[in-house]
């Protein structure tokens, strides 16, 4: 694994008009690593995810995946290279059942393509994968409920499920535990730990307990720049981080 890093951000810049959201972001994520990105609100974390997954074009810099340049690729091409993500604001197929959501999520990588000549039920592995995921998410009992009618915590679980059901090698989770209770968060972390085994994980998270529990490495984003990057211990002791995190969050760091 001494080859190119799983994900490399090299001087990524993003402007919305005159507003500089990302100024010069450099992050390296090794294959198989669990990497957390933290930072105060408005630091540009979600925007960074949008850059990596091709939702918005970058204004400058390069992004590469296992040495392959993915800077100007579309979101679906990047997915096909093995990058899947979840969203901070729940983004599901509200009128489809939980099961169908997961089936759509797995379709691409189970070889269903745009097929119109075969019934969906004919794809055994696809169904099995979706059922397996249901089980893993603890949503088996809600199998046939439209996603839009799920309880919030279940929706968050499904949101994570959609990101991982396709079996991508690099998974980006944007605040997966936002709004969850302590108990739900613990379940979610266990799930994330389990599914990210042997994969690369990039996670944006506000819950520092989760971050320090999960992450192998942490990058701290502030005001559009990476102000620190390293192991949890390194980051914890970094003075720049401490000054960026005045107040409530700083207490968690200590």
Partner 1 sequence: MRTISHTLPWVIAVVLVLVAPHVFGSGFSISLLCRMAIAAVFALSFNMLMGQGGMMDFGHAVYLGLGGFLAMHVMRAADAGWWIPTPALPIVGAFGGVVAAGLGGLVVSRSTRTAFAMITMGLAEAIVALVLMLPRLFGGEEGINADRSGGPPIFGFDFGSPLEAYYVIAFWALAAAGLMFLFTRTPLGRLSNAVRDNAERVGFLGYNPGRVRYFVYMFSGLFAGLAGGLQAINDEIITSANIGSNAAGAVLLMTFIGGVGTFAGPVVGAVVVTLMQMALGTVTEAWQLYNGLIFIVMVLWAPGGISGIILAHAPLVRSGQARRLVPSYLTVLPGFVAALLGTIGLSENAYRLQSIRGGSPPGGSIFGIPSDPQTMTPWLVSLALTAVGLWLVARTAPRARAAWLEIAGGTQA
* 237: helix, strand or coil: helix
DSSP string, 96-160: SBHHHHHHHHHHGGGT-TT--SS-GGG-HHHHHHHHHHHHHHT-GGGTTSBGGGS-HHHHHHHHH
Identify the residue among 105, 161, 176, 232 touching partner 1 (CB under 8 A). 105
Query: If binding is defined by CB under 8 A, does position 115 make contact with partner 1?
Result: yes
* Interface with partner 1, residue 91, by CB under 8 A: yes
Is 56 a binding residue for partner 1 by CB under 8 A? The answer is no
What is the DSSP annotation of 197-235? Answer: TTSEEEEE-S-HHHHHHH-SEEEEEETTEEEEEE-HHHH
What is the Cα–Cα distance from 157 to 161, expressed in whole angstroms? 6
Contact range with partner 1 by CB under 8 A, out of 11-19, 63-71, 118-126, 234-242 = 118-126
CB of 122 to partner 1, least distance (A): 9
Q: How far apart are CB 93 and partner 1 at their closest, in Å? A: 4
The Cα 72–Cα 147 span in angstroms is 32
Candidate residues 56, 57, 60, 76; the one interacting with partner 1 per rule CB under 8 A: 76
Residue 99 interacts with partner 1 (CB under 8 A): yes or no: no
Chain positions contacting partner 1, by CB under 8 A: 53, 55, 74-76, 79-80, 84-85, 87, 91-96, 100, 103-105, 107-109, 112-121, 123, 162, 166
């Amino acid at each position: 694994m001494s080859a190119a890093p799983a994900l490399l951000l090299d001087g990524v810049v993003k402007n919305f008009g005159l507003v500089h959201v990302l100024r010069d972001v450099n992050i390296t994520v090794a294959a198989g690593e669990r990497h957390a990105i933290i930072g105060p609100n408005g630091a540009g974390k979600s925007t960074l995810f949008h850059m990596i997954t091709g939702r918005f074009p970058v204004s400058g810099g390069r992004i590469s995946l296992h040495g392959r340049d993915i800077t100007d690729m579309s979101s679906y091409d990047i997915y096909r290279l093995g990058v899947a993500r979840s969203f901070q604001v729940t983004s599901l197929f509200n009128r489809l059942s939980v099961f169908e959501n997961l089936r759509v999520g797995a379709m691409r990588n189970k070889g269903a393509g745009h097929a119109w000549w075969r019934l969906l039920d004919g794809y055994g592995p696809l169904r099995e994968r979706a059922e397996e995921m249901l089980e893993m998410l603890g949503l088996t009992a809600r199998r046939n409920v439209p996603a839009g009618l799920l309880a919030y915590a279940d929706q968050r679980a499904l949101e994570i499920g959609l990101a991982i059901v396709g079996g991508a090698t690099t998974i980006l989770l944007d605040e997966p535990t936002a709004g969850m209770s302590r108990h739900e968060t613990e379940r979610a972390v266990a799930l994330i730990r389990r599914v990210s085994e042997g994969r690369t994980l990039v996670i944006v998270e506000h819950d520092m307990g989760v971050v320090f529990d999960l992450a192998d490495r942490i990058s701290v984003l502030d005001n559009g720049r990476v102000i620190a990057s390293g192991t949890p211990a390194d980051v914890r002791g970094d003075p720049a981080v401490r000054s960026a995190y005045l107040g409530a969050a700083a207490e968690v760091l200590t």
